[in-house]
């Protein structure tokens, strides 16, 4: 049951910024990188990584963890670590000149799920098998949900 709860928290953490974009549009969407570009001419993270998205992701994950019977700080850790993984993915994608919202299979899914599981490993007594199970399940669920959200006009591009 814990694995399913963790998977749900990862979906919430990674889905909250997408929902926020649909609800708020460009309002309150200040980019995390402050429009900074590096020597390669690419933005540090890109225009789609916003402070609004990160804050809403962390808050939504924190609330969801409480609703699932987990301590709120587990939600805080998972939401924060998922967003750190998302920023790392965006940083890598900008360095290889992939456009914002483009897919890089594995780069988009693994850090966003692996970082939170590693951050909670000791708090939740997660085994290596537990961590691998969550990362693989998230990989599959994220790809399927992305297509569904695209068909529902919630996501701009399918993965």
C-alpha span between 5 and 22 (Å, rounded) = 25
Q: Is 26 exposed, middle or buried (0-12, 13-18, 19+ CB in 10 A)?
A: exposed
Q: How confident is the model at residue 108 (pLDDT cuts 50, 70, 90)?
A: confident
Amino acid 150: pLDDT: 74
pLDDT higher than threshold 80 for residue 26: yes
Task: Note the pLDDT tens digit of each residue in 45-60.
Answer: 999 999 999 999 999 9
H/E run at residue 45: none
pTM: 0.90
Of 53, 51, 75, which Cα lies nearest the Cα of 63?
Answer: 75
104 secondary structure, DSSP code: -
Cα angle for residues 127, 128, 130 (degrees, 5° grid): 65
pLDDT higher than threshold 80 for residue 157: no
- The number of beta carbons lying within 10 Å of the beta carbon of residue 102 is 12
C-alpha span between 84 and 53 (Å, rounded) = 12
Averaged pLDDT of the chain = 92
Q: How confident is the model at residue 78 (pLDDT cuts 50, 70, 90)?
A: very high
C-alpha span between 113 and 143 (Å, rounded) = 13
Amino acid 35: pLDDT: 94
- Mean pLDDT, residues 63-77: 97
Which string of b and e fits 114-131 if b means at least 16 CB within 10 Å?
bbbbebbeeebebeeebb
C-alpha span between 138 and 158 (Å, rounded) = 16
C-alpha span between 107 and 13 (Å, rounded) = 17
């Amino acid at each position: 049951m814990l694995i399913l709860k963790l998977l749900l928290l990862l979906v919430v953490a990674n889905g909250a910024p997408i929902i926020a974009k649909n609800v708020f549009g460009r309002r309150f969407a200040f980019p995390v990188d402050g429009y900074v570009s590096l020597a390669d001419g690419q933005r540090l993270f890109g225009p789609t990584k916003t402070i609004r998205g990160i804050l809403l992701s962390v808050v939504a994950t924190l609330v969801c963890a409480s609703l699932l019977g987990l301590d709120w700080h587990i939600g805080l850790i998972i939401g924060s670590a998922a967003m750190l993984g998302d920023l790392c993915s965006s940083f890598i994608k900008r360095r290889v000149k992939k456009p914002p919202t483009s897919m890089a299979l594995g780069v988009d899914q693994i850090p966003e799920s692996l970082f939170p599981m590693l951050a909670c490993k000791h708090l939740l007594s997660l085994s290596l098998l537990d961590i691998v199970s969550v990362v693989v399940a998230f990989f599959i669920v994220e790809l399927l949900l992305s297509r569904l959200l695209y068909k529902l006009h919630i996501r701009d591009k399918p993965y």
